[in-house]
Structures are given as C-alpha cells and as structure tokens.
Amino acid sequence: MKNNRIRRILMVAAGIYLAYTGFDLTRAVIRSSEKNKWVFLAFAVLFLVFGATVIVMNVRGMIQDYKDGRREKKSEDREEDSYCE
C-alpha cells in the first residue's frame, strides 16, 4: 500500500513537470517566429494533455486507495468488535 502511494505521488510530480514543460513550450512558441511553429505547438499541447491526464489519473487513484483503506479499516474494526462480544 505504501509503495503504491509513493509511486502515485511520483507520478503526480512527473505529470506536473510535463504539464509545466508543455505550458512553457507553448509560451515560447507563441513568442517566436520559427518555421516549425505548428510542430512545436502540437508537441507542447501533447505534453500539456499527457501531463494533465497523468495528474488526474493518479490523484483519482490516490483518492480511491484512501477510500478503500478506510473501508478495510472499518471492516477490520467490525470483525474485532464481533470477536469481543
């Protein structure tokens, strides 16, 4: 469980980095007058979209893991209570 949590945190950090790189590349392409402006812009948008997707998927996974952990704890507490009676 802990390894999965650390992996998700690292993936969110990687997603933030990709989204920032895409945003920064977009800003640089808009300011420049390069011949391949559309190619760079396409890759910048891909970085943004992929980074945002990685962030959303892993944050959702972290929330789901948290909810599953709470459910498991509640069921364990109920089992302990039934043994005590």
Nearest-5° angle of CA 65, CA 5, CA 80?
Answer: 50
Q: Which parts of the chain register pLDDT below 50?
A: none
24 CB contacts (<8 Å, ≥6 apart)? Answer: none
Look at residue 68 in the predicted model and tell me its pLDDT.
87
Per domain, the residue ranges of the chain are 2-84
pTM: 0.76
Per-residue pLDDT tens digits for 60-81: 999 998 888 887 777 776 666 5
Look at residue 4 in the predicted model and tell me its pLDDT.
84
Look at residue 85 in the predicted model and tell me its pLDDT.
55
Contact between residue 54 and residue 18 where contact means Cβ atoms under 8 Å apart? yes
